[in-house]
Structure 1
Amino acid sequence: MTGSIQMKTVGLVGIGDMGSGLAKNLLKHGYQTTGTDLNAERMRAFTHMGGLAVSSPSEVGKNSEAVFVMVMTGDEAKAVILGENGLLSHLPKGGAVILSATIKPREAIEIGAAMDGSGVHLIDTPVSGGYPGAQAGTLTMMSAAPTEVLDEFAPVMDAVSANIHRVGTKPGDGQTVKACLQSLIGAQFSATFEAAALAAKAGVPGQVLLDVFSTSSAGCGVVDNALEKIIDRQFEGTGSHINTMHKDLTISMDLGVDLGVPLHTAAAAMQIFHAGRSKYPNGDNWACARVIEDIVGAELHRKAAK
């Protein structure tokens, strides 16, 4: 652990694909970590790795100086932060809610307004890097809070992140940057899915496509990882459930409506993810490629069929 040595107790609400990675790295860096989740299996796994599992956000708050909130929706974030058994009324003065979930910017603004005057800080800091980044402690954070607050809580954020970008000072600033990022990532995903189906129909082996893409100017972590999953036919259980990206693209599109910005490519990506989620509701992001493969009647495998 670097920086200030006073902070020892950290909390976590939400111990799923992303939250389990946060927990792993907080414990690795020596923080006493208290957490809660609605899923009993996740709670058992958290206890096994050394965390203290409790039954409510209020208990997390009582045991913590800072709490990461890694839930799915803005309504869930509001409930665990502001609700009757929420964090706000139980965290100590000077403590912080570290909002690492991706929600609508206006929802983060609403949470910040409700917390104003409470003596508890809000750090609006959605993350990028997915399941691999969470598990490795290499997430990118888009952090918004006053400078002195970010300075104070930098050590605990460093425990889970390799890149912390200070993108603003107000609630909603972090979520706005994340919405812009997800509009781009969604487009990268959907273009990869279409290119994979095109190659499959043309009879190009998946390994050939991966070799070319990964060494070209189009190659990047998003494209390379998606193509790896497609050619190895790994469409479930990879830690990147389709519901999350579908939700994130909805947020991007919603922000576009609020600001009057046309998002033509993000809209196309949104429809591809909507189709994937409709046909393969238990799938991960890469399941979208299967929808296009189903249409063209060809599948992309690492090796060409003999």
Structure 2
Amino acid sequence: MNSTSPTIGVIGIGAMGMGIAKNLHRKGWPIVVRDIRPEAEAEAASLGMRVAATPAALAGQADCIIIVVVNAAQIDDVLFGSGSVIQAAAKGKTVVLCSTIAPEDTMRFSGRLAEAGVAAIDAPISGGPAKAEAGSMSMMIAAPEAVLQPWQPLLEAMAAKRFHISDHVGDGAKTKLVNNLLAGINLVASAEAFALGKRIGLEPRKLFDVIAASSGSSWVFEDRMSRVLENDFEPRAFAHILTKDVGLATAMADAAGYDTPLGDAALARYKLTLERGWSQLDDAAVIKTYES
């Protein structure tokens, strides 16, 4: 990138958003950020990124605004609330919605943005903070080609694996929820089996190595149970976030008249994780519900 490159705004510089901002900043994109946490903004500023006081101030400086906040309520606030993106007269700009939210919320936000002359790209992401910072994460994209075309270099810089699901905003969100439903089920299954092995006296490292090399393995098993081996529950992916995502996925299924018995069981286990006070731990902490 060079001095004539478009400025990119990132609202929500938590684990994934900070990774995205660092990746794009390293690659030379002009970056301006906004977060509700002063410590996150201070970290971004120390790396040479600009910090905006409000979403409106960010939108006034940015050509494209990437939103990576926790949920639909926060998106509603940064897009349409006090000091919001829309209040910056953002006509002609583009908003990239990267958060995991319900498809109907994605479509609702896109419609309201369109009324203000702002384009929307439905682009939920997956892979975790390390892949976000490396630019190697996955992205599920839904938007018309005319909206996507000007921002292809940005999307390529953000995600090594990009899947254009369709031209219809909302289909990216649907795809992400299906993926997260499976990830959530896989994690609970991994925790259940691994905790059983420990309970019956198997040596955890050897058990891990066997499963990782055998038919029971999955990416989620290897990633999360490696943390369990180290008793490391520092959050890379918060337990409360996956609980929210699996809940959205089962609600989407309910609306379609589709039963998800495994998803429902996984959701119950995540809710138990939160009830026992582990919401701010890594989602691998679901194993604690079997061990306690």
* Interval containing the TM-score (normalised by the shorter chain): over 0.9
Distance in 2 (alpha carbons) for counterparts of 1:34 and 1:213: 44
Please state whether the residue corresponding to 1:286 is helix, strand or coil.
helix
- CA drift of 1:88 comes to 2.8
Aligned-partner Cα distance in 1 for 2:147–2:176? 20
Deviations 1:117-163 (A, max 9, x none): 43321001111112222222211000111012222111112222111
Please say if residues 235 and 281 of structure 2, whose CA atoms lie closer than 8 Å, have aligned partners that are also in contact.
no
Give the equivalent residue in structure 1 for 2:186: 188
The alignment status of 1:248 with 2:245, answered yes or no, reads: yes
Query: 1:300 maps to which residue?
Result: none
1:146-187: CA deviation from partner (whole Å, max 9, x where unpaired): 012222111112222111100121221111111111110001
Is the alpha carbon distance of 1:282 and 1:238 closer, same or farther for their aligned partners in structure 2, counting shifts above 3 Å? closer
2:235–2:283 CA contact under 8 A, matched in 1: no
Distance 2:89 2:243 in 1: 32
Matched position secondary structure for 2:100? coil
Asked if the contact 1:105–1:173 (Cα under 8 Å) also holds between the matched residues in 2, the reply is yes
Percent identity between matched residues is 26
Instruction: Give the Cα–Cα distance (whole angstroms) in 1 for the partners of residues 167 and 257 of structure 2.
Output: 24
Counterpart among 66, 70, 79 of residue 77 in structure 2? 79
The CA distance in 2 between the partners of 1:199 and 1:275, in whole Å, is: 21
1:238 to 235, 239, 243: 235
How far the C-alpha of 1:277 sits from its partner, in A, is 1.4
Which residue pairs with 2:270 in the alignment? 273
Among 225, 233, 236, the alignment partner of 1:227 is 225
The question of 1:145 aligning with 2:136 is answered no
* Residue 90 of structure 1, CA deviation: 2.5
1:261: which partner in 2? 258
Kindly tell me: are residues 91 and 25 of structure 1, through their superposed partners in 2, closer, same or farther at Cα, counting changes over 3 Å? farther
TM-score with structure 1 length normalisation? 0.91
Alpha carbons 2:34, 2:51 under 8 Å: kept = yes
- Tell me how far apart the structure 2 counterparts of residues 82 and 158 of structure 1 sit (CA, whole Å): 28
Q: Is residue 59 of structure 1 aligned with residue 57 of structure 2?
A: yes
Counterpart for residue 24 of structure 1? 22
Correspondence for 1:212 among 207, 210, 213: 210
CA deviation profile, 1:35-60 (whole Å, cap 9, x unmatched): 11000111101111211011110011
Alignment-derived partner of residue 157 in structure 1: 155
1:110 match: secondary structure: helix
TM-score by length of structure 2 reads 0.95
Report what 2:6 is aligned to.
8
Cα deviation digits, residues 190-210 of structure 1 (max 9, x gap): 000001111011111121122
Deviation at 1:92, TM superposition (A): 4.4
1:262 maps to a residue whose letter is: D
* Alignment length (residue pairs): 291
Choose 39-48 or 112-121, whichever is displaced more: 112-121
In structure 1, which of residues 116, 124, 127 is the aligned counterpart of residue 125 of structure 2?
Answer: 127
The answer for unaligned runs of 5 or more in structure 2 is none
CA distance in 2, matches of 1:158, 1:79: 28
- In 2, Cα distance between equivalents of 1:172 and 1:91: 25
Displacement of 1:232 in angstroms is 0.9
Task: State the match for 2:46 in structure 1.
Answer: 48
Q: Distance in 2 between matches of 1:168 and 1:248?
A: 22
Correspondences of 1:91-106 after superposition (within 5 Å) = 92-106=90-104
SS state of the match for residue 203, structure 1?
A: coil
* Worse overlay, 214-223 or 176-185: 214-223
Deviates more, 1:195-204 or 1:148-157: 148-157
Q: Secondary structure at the match of 1:217?
A: coil
CA distance, structure 2, for counterparts of residue 114 and residue 229 of structure 1: 42
1 CA distance for matches of 2:225 and 2:167? Answer: 37
CA distance in 1, matches of 2:28, 2:112: 32
Alpha-carbon distance between aligned partners in 1 of 2:238 and 2:86, rounded to the nearest angstrom: 30
The two structures, once aligned, show a CA RMSD in angstroms of 1.6
